[in-house]
Amino acid sequence: MDALDPRVARMKERLLTAPYEVCMARALRFTRAYRETEGLDPHLRNARALARTLDEQEIFIWPDERIAGSKTERYLAGPLSVERGDFLRTLQLEMDVLHKKRRPFHVTAENRRLFYEEVLPYWDGRTVRDRKAAHWVRDGLLDTAPGLRAGARRILNLARNLHVADRDRLRKLFGAALDAPLTPRRLRTLYDLRYEYARNNPTPAVFCFDVQGHLCLGVDKVVERGMGALIEDARARKRRLSPDQAKEHAFLDAVILSLQAACRYSERFTALAEKMSRKTDDPAEKHRLETIASNCRVVPRARPESFHQALQSLWMTLLVGEIQYGTHEVFGVGRIDQYLWPYYRDDLRAGRLGRGEALALCRSCSSSRPPTSIPSPRSAWRRTACSETPSTWR
């Protein structure tokens, strides 16, 4: 395997040594947007919450980055999907002990206050998780009846669950919580969530999230055409709808709002990169920032003009999707050997790009799961009926 580019090596070291943090940016803005859109179509509520997050979330361009884009307002943190309920309950149980874990999470006092005073009160009882539990109770799948006999039965069921769970899972489940003092707030939380073990497993560390993962978004469509073209497609479909198709109109309006917000988000990085470039006298740093500004001005709104822009479009699309979904690292990038290949081929033939530079750009997209290397011009190719694509990226 080729040696790491020094810039990529520094990024890797910074990532591996950074502290874990909890970022409430998405959780707070989704909470406020949903509070203000009660009664609106669900697709539009989600789109407006996404737009608010992308328009207001603080952004950064970190040292050595050549592909811009931030999922959160912290260097090493993930977006929190409080509306589903898994993260909400996990944070409710563990917010006061996160700093005691073997690999501690840093939470600012302000973020902790916002969680307890604004986020948790709104979503308590409104999440997908809560609705699922309510349906189970309604359909008789959960026993929440009062009385000594029912209580004894629930204790017996809990004992059975603990017996089945192995030691490592129990350590993950209780962990630092065993060493934390039972404050009034923690006691109240334990009482409020007394049925949580029966309804749902409350911690993702033990079983699973209330989420679907391992999905591939239509990143290839954005890279091949640009979000501007997809916006026009949605508008054209809207014009073909009849006035009484309210749900379809709302869905397409949400698509348009979301794509427009993603384009504005990328353009915010153009403005930031230009501002940063004016403050530096280092020619290499100025070139890096001006390139980011130029790329984010084009993509993902338009079709990329280079391999670098194609990677920037891919990354921006992927991270906006994960901000919308509220969970990081659950989406795949699909067949990047096919839809990135034309940009790599054309840049290589025109002498605008070398194999080593392309490899460094791919490796800098830390979450896009790039190939471990880039094909040389003499790699074996196969020709399909629709396009020329590499048979292997080796």
Tens digit of pLDDT for each residue in 106-145?
999 999 999 999 999 999 999 988 888 788 778 877 666 7
User: Rounded distance, CA 299 to CA 262, Å?
Assistant: 10
In this predicted structure, what is the pLDDT of residue 364? 85
- Is residue 108 situated within a structural domain? yes
Residue 2 lies in a domain: no
**Domain assignment of residue 269, yes or no:** yes
Q: Does one domain contain both 43 and 122?
A: yes
CA distance 19 to 338: 36
Residues 228 and 97 in one domain: no
Query: Do both 95 and 183 map to the same domain?
Result: yes
- Domain boundary residue, one of 175, 199, 223: 199
Nearest C-alpha neighbor of 321 from the set 208, 215, 209: 215
CB 343 within 8 A of CB 372: no
Do 117 and 171 have their domain in common? yes
Sites in the chain below the pLDDT cut of 50: 202-208, 367-394
Domain count, the chain: 2
Cα of first residue to Cα of last residue in the chain, in angstroms, is 10
Q: Are residues 286 and 192 in the same domain?
A: no
Residue 392 belongs to a domain: no
Sign of the alpha-carbon dihedral angle for 40, 316, 349, 335 = negative
Q: Are residues 311 and 244 in the same domain?
A: yes
What are the tokens at 18? 């950074």
Domain span at 127? 18-199
Full-model pTM = 0.84
Last residue of a domain, one of 325, 346, 367: 346
Residue 70 phi/psi, 5-degree rounding, is -125, 130
* Boundary (domain end) residue, out of 173, 199, 225: 199
Same domain, 90 and 131: yes
pLDDT at 346: 97
Residue 375: inside a domain: no
**How much is the pLDDT for 132?**
82
| Residue 176 pLDDT | 53
Assigned domain for 9 exists: no
The per-residue pLDDT for 185 is 79
- Token readout for 238 is 């809207």
Is residue 57 domain-resident? yes
Residue 73 lies in a domain: yes
- 151 and 220 in a single domain? The answer is no
**Same-domain check for residues 180 and 259:** no
Average pLDDT of the chain, as a whole number: 84
Q: What's the pLDDT at 90? A: 82
What pLDDT shows up at residue 202?
47
Query: Same domain for 194 and 227?
Result: no
Do the beta carbons of residue 237 and residue 258 sit within 8 Å? no
Q: Do 252 and 128 belong together in one domain?
A: no
- Shared-domain flag, residues 149 and 285: no
